[in-house]
Amino acid sequence: MNNLKYVSLLKDEMSLKNYSKNSIKSYCGCISVFFNFFVKKDMPEHISVEEIKKYLLTISPSYRKQMIGSLSIFYKLIGQPKKFDHIEYPRKENHFPIILSKDEIKKILKNTVNLKHKIILSTIYFHGLRISELINLKITDIDFSRNLLIIQQSKGNKDRVVPINKDWIIVVNRYISIYKPIEFLINGQLSPQYSATSIRNILNNSCKISGINKSIKIHSLRHSYATHLLEQGVSLRYIQNLLGHENSRTTERYTHVSNIHLQNIQIQL
């Protein structure tokens, strides 16, 4: 099977439909993995629904959802949309987001000694960014005159603006004067952009030094940002806009983990 031909076909189709670069990269990666699994098949049209279902059982539910979305687009493209009529997305697991307290955030940032590493973690937390948004953030996206970050072409191919944190401005100005980034705010050592793996390693190391044993991921900083805003009295509607959530229900889950709401629920004897 000529994988490159089919990956290129999907890439062109998604580009014509104005999907974001991250979505195109993710979906093309999925079908490439899929076709490598069925490397002995000469054409994707010859892969049966039963074979697709058996393959989907070999991957995690979270990856399965992404794979189904990728293959659904692809098989529509090659004229076999009915192949996915009876393949459903996995049921969403109802896990609450892991939240860091403000004291834990302070510990993490204090114990992140390297200035570039500190900027990476503080930029994500103070502005509620996704890891891809931090990686793609350019110097020109920082509007110092209006104290705004311009998040361009994020999830869903949408732009949004986020107010710059005042404490962050002091640190980022020092960082820019020392590191002198040219295009992207965070440059890699051998590439224009920093890698997601390196960012995750920075957070893991800082959590370990800080004695934080929670199952923390980079997205936990974004979750913490939203929860802390809610606890400060910021409206859900405003938080939804800051995070770039299309559906308000996604933002509403922070009410379940907000400390201010839980503290008000007490048994009186």
**Residue ranges of domains in the chain, CATH in brackets:** 3-84 (1.10.150.130), 102-263 (1.10.443.10)
pLDDT band at 263 (very low <50, low <70, confident <90, very high): low
Predicted confidence (pLDDT) per residue in 99-108, tens digit: 899 999 999 9
Q: How are beta strands 160-163 and 142-143 bridged, if at all?
A: unpaired
CA–CA gap between residue 249 and residue 73 (Å, rounded): 26
Mean pLDDT across the stretch 222-226?
92
**How many degrees, rounded to 5, is the angle at CA 12 between CA 10 and CA 17?**
95
- List C-alpha distances in Å: 114 to 108, 200, 218: 12, 15, 17
Predicted confidence (pLDDT) per residue in 22-75, tens digit: 788 889 999 999 988 988 777 888 898 999 999 999 988 878 988 999 999 999
Position 11 scores a pLDDT of: 92
Q: What share of the chain is helix, strand, coil (3-state, %, to 5)?
A: 60, 5, 35
Burial (CB count <10 Å: 0-12, 13-18, 19+), residue 87: middle
- List C-alpha distances in Å: 56 to 46, 50, 74, 81, 260: 17, 10, 16, 17, 41
CB atoms within 10 A of CB 185: 25
CA–CA gap between residue 226 and residue 233 (Å, rounded): 11
Q: Which residues are catalytic?
A: 130, 155, 219, 222, 245, 254
pLDDT band at 256 (very low <50, low <70, confident <90, very high): low
* pTM more than 0.85: no
Query: 207 pLDDT exceeds 90?
Result: yes
Query: Is residue 194 within 8 Å of 186, Cβ to Cβ?
Result: yes
Six-digit token string for 55:
């393959």
Query: Is residue 131 within 8 Å of 218, Cβ to Cβ?
Result: yes
- List C-alpha distances in Å: 117 to 81, 109, 269: 46, 9, 49
- List b or e across 123-161, with b for residues whose CB sees 16 or more CB atoms inside 10 angstroms: bbbbbbbbbbbbbbbeeebbeeeeeebebbebbeeeebe
Predicted confidence (pLDDT) per residue in 155-173, tens digit: 766 789 999 999 999 999 9
Task: Name residue 226's amino acid.
Answer: A
Which strand (E) or helix (H) includes residue 150? Answer: strand 148-151
Phi, psi of 142 (to 5 degrees): -100, 110
- Of 47, 21, 50, 20, nearest to 36 (Cα)? 47
120: Cβ contacts below 8 Å, ≥ 6 apart: 134, 186, 194, 199, 202
Position 83 scores a pLDDT of: 84
Position 43 scores a pLDDT of: 84
Position 130 scores a pLDDT of: 92
**Highest mean pLDDT, choosing among 82-86, 93-97, 134-138, 191-195:** 134-138
pLDDT band at 129 (very low <50, low <70, confident <90, very high): very high
Mean pLDDT across the stretch 106-122?
96
Position 247 scores a pLDDT of: 76
